[in-house]
Chain A
Amino acid sequence: MTYAVLLVRICLRALFVEFSTSTDTTQTAQLRHLHLLALRVLQEVISFTPSLLTSDIPIGLTLLKKLYMTIEDTTQHLQPPLMDALLLIFRRDGGLKSLVPKTPTPQRLSRQRSITGKKSHIKENVEDALGPTSLLLHTVMDALSFSGCRPLVTIWSKFFLECLPYFSDSVFPILIPTVECVGREISSTLVGLQQLFGSGGGGGVDLLEQSVTLLTLLEGVLFRAHEILRIEEAKLGGSKGGYDGAGFLNNVMSGVWGGEGILGRSGVANVNPDFAHSDDRTD
C-alpha cells in the first residue's frame, strides 16, 4: 500500500466528518475548512498518482455521494470543488469507471427512491441502461431542479456538459430525462421573468442569466446527442452524407414531448416505455 492510497483514504474520511449536534458558525466554518482541505489534498495526490484510479478505492463514487448530499444541505460551498475533483477523475480515467462500485449492489436506486419518497427524474429502465452511473444523472437533475442550487446553475450546467462525453454510448438514455428536466426549468424561469416584467419589478438579471444558462445546457445536450447519432449512422453506413438537422430535431422532440410527427426516431433513444410502441428506427 502506498502513502498515496492511505492519503486518499484519509481525505475521503475527512470529507465525511460531521457534527453530531448543531453548532455555532465558528465551528461550522472549521468543518467547512476541513472538508475543503481534504478535497485539495485529494486533488494533489490524484494529480501526481494517476494509478490511484485503478486501486480498490471508490474515489469517484464516494465524491459523487458527497456531492449528492450537498444539494439540499447547507454545504453547497463544497459543490464546485467536488465537481472539479470528479472531472479530474473522469479525465484521468477517460470515463465513468470510477463511479462503478467495487462490490455488487443488491438494491437498485429506483426501488430505494420509491421507499424514501424521493422524486425520481429518470425511469427504471433508464437506470438499468445507465447502471451505477445513474447516480450522476440523478445528482445533476436534482441540483438543476432544486431552487437552492439555482445560484450555482452555471457551474452545474458546465459540469454536466463536461461529463456528457464520458457517458459515451449511454448518452441516449439520459437524453429524455435531461431534456424534460431542463425544459421544465427553462419554462419555470421564463414564467418568472414574465411575471417580473409584468409587475415592472427589478432584479431580473439573475433570472435572465439562468434562462440563458439553461438554454445553453439544453443546446449542449442536444448537440452531443446529435454528434453521437451521426457517428452511429456513419458506422452503420446509413448516412447519406448530408446533415439532416430537421430530422434529428424531430427525432428528439417526438421522443420528449409526444408521439406526434414521428418521422423516425433513433431506437436507442426509446428508453421510455411510454414511447416503446413507436420504436421506429432510422438506421
Chain B
Amino acid sequence: MFDIIFSKLLEDRLLRLPVQKEYKDITVLFTPCSPGSEDLTTLSYHLDLLLEIFRFENQYLRAVCADDKAMLDPSRLELLENSFTSARRG
C-alpha cells in the first residue's frame, strides 16, 4: 500500500519542473496549477492516504521510511532532484 501511494506521488504532475519567481526580496520555485485541474485533488488524495498510514500503521513502516534506501526508478528521482531547491534566495 505504501509503495503504491509513494509511486503515485512521484508520478504526480504537480511535482514536475517548477517555475522560479520573485517574491519581494526572495526567490522561490513554485508549481503553477490550472484551476479545475484534477492534479490538485489527486496530490491531496495521495498525501491524505499517506498521512493516515503514518498515523495508524505500525512503527515498522516508520523505520522503513527513515532508514531504508528508497529503491526507486532513477528517472523518477531525477524529477525531484532537478526540481527541488525551492528556497534559493537571491
**Contact between A31 and B70 (Cβ–Cβ < 8 Å)?**
no
**Contact between A65 and B66 (Cβ–Cβ < 8 Å)?**
no
**Contact between A45 and B65 (Cβ–Cβ < 8 Å)?**
yes
**Contact between A31 and B9 (Cβ–Cβ < 8 Å)?**
no
Whether, in the assembled complex, A118 has its beta carbon less than 8 Å from a beta carbon of chain B, the answer is yes
**Contact between A51 and B14 (Cβ–Cβ < 8 Å)?**
no
Contact with B along A31-50 (1 / 0, CB 8 A): 10110011011001100110
Whether, in the assembled complex, A219 has its beta carbon less than 8 Å from a beta carbon of chain B, the answer is no
Whether, in the assembled complex, A220 has its beta carbon less than 8 Å from a beta carbon of chain B, the answer is no
Whether, in the assembled complex, A74 has its beta carbon less than 8 Å from a beta carbon of chain B, the answer is no
Residues of B within 8 Å of A49, CB to CB, are 65-66
Nearest A residue (CB) for B50: A41
Residues of A within 8 Å of B67, CB to CB, are 2
Residues of B within 8 Å of A21, CB to CB, are 34-35
**Contact between A61 and B51 (Cβ–Cβ < 8 Å)?**
no
**Contacts between chains A and B (CB distance < 8 A), count:** 159
Of the residues B54, B77, B87, contact of A62 by C-beta under 8 Å: B87
Contact with B along A99-124 (1 / 0, CB 8 A): 00101011101001101101000000
**Contact between A31 and B40 (Cβ–Cβ < 8 Å)?**
yes
Whether, in the assembled complex, B4 has its beta carbon less than 8 Å from a beta carbon of chain A, the answer is no
**Contact between B70 and A37 (Cβ–Cβ < 8 Å)?**
no
Q: Cα distance A101–B48 when bound, in Å? A: 30
Residues of A within 8 Å of B89, CB to CB, are 61, 65, 101, 105, 107, 109, 132, 135
**Contact between B64 and A19 (Cβ–Cβ < 8 Å)?**
no
**Contact between B80 and A9 (Cβ–Cβ < 8 Å)?**
yes
**Minimum C-beta distance from B85 to chain A (A):** 8
Q: Cα distance A3–B88 when bound, in Å? A: 23
**Contact between B47 and A116 (Cβ–Cβ < 8 Å)?**
no
Nearest A residue (CB) for B63: A48
Nearest A residue (CB) for B3: A3
Whether, in the assembled complex, A10 has its beta carbon less than 8 Å from a beta carbon of chain B, the answer is yes
Residues of A within 8 Å of B54, CB to CB, are 41, 44-45
Whether, in the assembled complex, A69 has its beta carbon less than 8 Å from a beta carbon of chain B, the answer is yes
Q: Cα distance A262–B12 when bound, in Å? A: 62
Nearest A residue (CB) for B31: A17
Of the residues A1, A30, A44, A68, contact of B44 by C-beta under 8 Å: A30
Nearest A residue (CB) for B35: A23
Q: Cα distance A197–B70 when bound, in Å? A: 64
Nearest B residue (CB) for A13: B15
Most buried by B among A3, A19, A62, A112: A3
5 more A-B contacts (CB under 8 A) besides A18-B32, A65-B28, A116-B24? A2-B65, A14-B14, A23-B35, A37-B44, A51-B66
- Residues on B lying within 8 angstroms of A by beta carbon are 6, 9-10, 12, 14-15, 18, 23-26, 28-36, 40-41, 43-44, 47-48, 50-51, 54-55, 62, 64-70, 72, 77, 80, 83-90
For this complex, 7 residue pairs linking A to B, each with C-beta atoms less than 8 Å apart, are: A4-B66, A19-B35, A33-B44, A37-B47, A48-B62, A68-B26, A132-B89
Sorted nearest first, the 10 A-B pairs with minimum C-beta distance are: A112-B25, A23-B35, A62-B87, A20-B32, A107-B90, A16-B30, A49-B66, A3-B65, A37-B47, A34-B44
- Residues on A lying within 8 angstroms of B by beta carbon are 1-7, 9-14, 16-24, 27, 30-31, 33-34, 37-38, 40-41, 44-45, 48-49, 51, 57-58, 61-62, 65, 68-69, 101, 103, 105-107, 109, 112-113, 115-116, 118, 132, 135
